[in-house]
Amino acid sequence: MRRRQFITLLGGAAVTWPCTVRAQQATVPVIGLLGSGTAAAQSEWTAAFVQRLGQLGWSEGRNISIEYRWAEGRPERFSEIAAELVQRKVSLILTHNTPPTLAVKQATSTIPIVFATAGDPIGSGIVASLARPGGNITGLSGQSPDVAGKKLELLREVVPGLHRLATLADVDNPFAALEVSKMNESARTFGIEVASFEISRSEELESVFNALKRGTDALYVLPVPLLFVNRVRINTLALGARLPTLHGVREYVEAGGLMSYGPNWPSMWRRAADLVDKILRGAKPAEIPVEQPTEFDLVINLKTAKALGLTIPDKLLALANTVIE
């Protein structure tokens, strides 16, 4: 009897042990990545993030899992995806840009959040301070509003007769309001008039360009999700209107814009991986200082300059990180 009982127990164990092992293997941290654009548009940034995670010992499919969600530049999707990731009970949520980050912050006060980029995280209410962000969130500040003056200096080198600048933003973006305010402040020091234009849907772009091309010397396009996914169309309309464009990130210039100056986003996504690593190993987001950019890129598109009849000064070309010919 005892022998039969032992065999029965052993047989039961043979079935249970592999299940237990599989369950242990399946228990790996899950990162929910909320991308504001599309997978293709953000491929360089996410690749930089995943590569750095690998250098830190995290391998997708082995000891970590990443669930990607793409809002495709549609602001209404930010809250929907945030709620979905919270319901999924992911271990950590990675986001970027201001509106998606605010949506995730509103959706959860317990799941750790890391933002790879955010223009002005204090001014937009994402964190209490850079040194001690508080709550369940930390990340990297783009500090784009702080370089508004530098952007205008560079643009004036290319457009010497710059007197009237138009800005293009989306309506429901706290960062956009801060950025436009900083641009207005800087413009006044140069004697430049600024006219602000906003859209809430892609379909409004043509009517906006019909309005802004009258009496405008140049256009500053803010680096926000709704405009990012429409960057090719925006640059096509700008070229048709004979408007030089200034941008905050290089992807706009690679899509036909004239020039950009701002933080190197792949570098920031790599550094976001370091913050994620710290949190997955036990650090509290509230105690991890928000970092600031260390690399800034100046990118110039000579093909666009030629099409607009503009000459790029040699000293500016020498300063450029990338020149598209």
The 10s digit of each residue's pLDDT in 24-51 is: 345 899 999 999 989 998 999 999 999 9
Residues 175 and 55 in one domain: no
Task: Order across the sheet with 164-170: list the strands.
Answer: 193-199, 164-170, 218-221, 245-247, 259-263, 296-301, 322-324
Q: Tell me if 292 sits within 8 A of 279, measured CB to CB.
A: no
In the prediction, which pLDDT does 142 show?
83
Conformation bin of residue 80: beta by default, left when phi > 0, alpha when psi is -120 to 50: alpha
pLDDT-derived band at 11 (thresholds 50, 70, 90) equals very low
Taking the C-alpha atoms of residue 139 and residue 268, their distance in angstroms, rounded to an integer, is 9
In the prediction, which pLDDT does 101 show?
95
Residues 54 and 195 in one domain: no
Measuring CA to CA, how many Å separate 64 from each of 22, 31, 205, 252, 286? 15, 8, 41, 32, 23
Residues 169 and 306 in one domain: yes
Mean pLDDT of 277-288: 96
Q: Name the residue among 263, 246, 48, 253 with its Cα closest to residue 142.
A: 263
- Residue 26 sits in a domain whose CATH number is 3.40.50.2300
Residues 174 and 84 in one domain: no
247, β-bridge pairs: 221, 260
Residue range of the domain that includes 155:
145-263+297-324
In the prediction, which pLDDT does 145 show?
53
**Encoding tokens for residue 283?**
């650090």
Q: In this structure, is residue 96 part of a structural domain?
A: yes
**Encoding tokens for residue 7?**
């065999």
Taking the C-alpha atoms of residue 77 and residue 103, their distance in angstroms, rounded to an integer, is 10
Residues 184 and 207 in one domain: yes
Q: Name the residue among 42, 229, 257, 237 with its Cα closest to residue 151.
A: 257
Residues 187 and 320 in one domain: yes
Q: In this structure, is residue 65 part of a structural domain?
A: yes
Q: Tell me if 163 sits within 8 A of 190, measured CB to CB.
A: no
Residues 64 and 159 in one domain: no
Residues 161 and 231 in one domain: yes
In the prediction, which pLDDT does 165 show?
96
Conformation bin of residue 74: beta by default, left when phi > 0, alpha when psi is -120 to 50: beta
Q: In this structure, is residue 2 part of a structural domain?
A: no
Across all residues in the chain, what is the average pLDDT? 89
Measuring CA to CA, how many Å separate 79 from each of 7, 224, 244? 55, 16, 35
In the prediction, which pLDDT does 138 show?
97
Residues 58 and 189 in one domain: no
pLDDT, tens digit, for every residue of 88-123? 999 999 999 899 999 999 999 999 999 999 888 998
Highest mean pLDDT among 16-30, 102-116, 132-146, 168-182: 102-116
Taking the C-alpha atoms of residue 65 and residue 2, their distance in angstroms, rounded to an integer, is 45
pLDDT-derived band at 7 (thresholds 50, 70, 90) equals very low
Q: In this structure, is residue 4 part of a structural domain?
A: no
Q: In this structure, is residue 17 part of a structural domain?
A: yes
Would you say residue 19 has pLDDT above 50? no
In the prediction, which pLDDT does 212 show?
85
Residues 157 and 138 in one domain: no
Taking the CA atoms of the chain, what radius of gyration do you get in angstroms?
Answer: 24
Residues 185 and 320 in one domain: yes
Domain total in the chain:
2
pLDDT, tens digit, for every residue of 239-267? 999 999 999 999 999 999 999 999 999 99
Highest mean pLDDT among 2-11, 21-30, 137-146, 240-249: 240-249
Q: In this structure, is residue 1 part of a structural domain?
A: no
Reported as type and span, the H/E element at residue 53 is helix 43-55
Q: In this structure, is residue 187 part of a structural domain?
A: yes
Residues 18 and 75 in one domain: yes
